[in-house]
Amino acid sequence: MSNASLAHEVESIIWFHSIDLGGGVVTPGIKSPEALDAELGRMGLPEDLSGRTVLDIGAWDGYFSFEAERRGAKRVVALDHYAWSLDHDAQRRYWAECQARGEAPLPYEQVPGLFDPTKQPGRRGFDLARARLRSSVEPIFGDLEDIDAGALGTFDIVFFMGVLYHLENPLRALRRLRQLTAGVVIVETVCAVFPGMEDRQMFEFFGTDELNGDPSNWWAPNAAGLDSMCRAAGFRDVVHVAEPSPDDPPHPGYRFHYGRAVFHALA
């Protein structure tokens, strides 16, 4: 494919990740190259992953999977289903219509025409990047909440980046992740600060689109809640790599602060 036709194809896709495809083409992700660079820096991921196996839960366009491969991982599996099933153009139109009507959007999988697990319209970006990068990352279409964990095997490192708050049953999912890893799960998530309650183990629930206008955001744990849920799921230790400060001010328009945390949950 010429660089011109690659650029044309890239433009026809809604990208979550900015991925350098070579030939001067970088995909225009919702997450900028700078934001992804900063996230990588915060992950605490070893520079050399030679000989390691990596599972990327919620891989979307695959930025973190491709990075693990670039760092020498011997096997990388990219698992997703939600973003791959979603027609992102149709979802954007639906969301804008809801805003115009002053209504909260329904969970997208409940809206006719937005979801197609058979054709997987939201996977075009991942497939294009994988082909262009001549990557051997293995895509698996699956929902962490009901995939057969035994059939997947175990991995040295599991990326669980930006996924926890989308799950209906986070404790059950973390138990599954415990089964899936022999090493570490890198948990990156929204993390709330409830002032004066730092010692309480809390998860705030969002029944509709209250958190960032996204009806697929269900939960925001505080740091103690996340730590305690990882331990309850069977992890022997939890390292707090990054978390919001108790002094962080509430978000404009919100009662609490919603920052990001990175925890390493050790098997």
Ligand X SMILES: C[S@@+](CC[C@H](N)C(=O)[O-])C[C@H]1O[C@@H](n2cnc3c(N)ncnc32)[C@H](O)[C@@H]1O
Closest CB to ligand X among residues 82, 155: 82
Q: Which residues pair with 155 in a beta bridge?
A: 181
Q: How many residues does the chain have?
A: 267
Token pair of 40 as six digits: 């990588």
Q: Nearest-CA neighbor of 198 among 145, 244, 141, 249? A: 244
The verdict on 82 binding ligand X (CB under 6 A) reads: yes
Distances (CA, A) of 31 to 27, 68, 143, 177, 181: 10, 18, 23, 25, 27
The verdict on 115 binding ligand X (CB under 6 A) reads: no
**Smallest separation, CB 110 to ligand X (Å):** 15
The tally of CA atoms less than 13 A away on the side-chain side of residue 2 is 3
Pick from 9, 20, 127, 143: which binds ligand X (CB under 6 A)? Answer: 143
**Smallest separation, CB 217 to ligand X (Å):** 9
The verdict on 145 binding ligand X (CB under 6 A) reads: yes
Q: Single out the segment in contact with ligand X by CB under 6 A; choices: 78-86, 92-100, 104-112, 223-231.
A: 78-86
Burial label for 2, CB within 10 Å (0-12, 13-18, 19+), is exposed
The verdict on 123 binding ligand X (CB under 6 A) reads: no
The verdict on 80 binding ligand X (CB under 6 A) reads: yes
Residues 155-184 that bind ligand X (CB under 6 A): 161-163, 166-167
The verdict on 257 binding ligand X (CB under 6 A) reads: no
Secondary structure tally for the chain: helices H, strands E: 9, 11
The residues of the shown chain that bind ligand X, judged by CB under 6 A, are 31, 57-58, 60, 79-83, 143-145, 161-163, 166-167
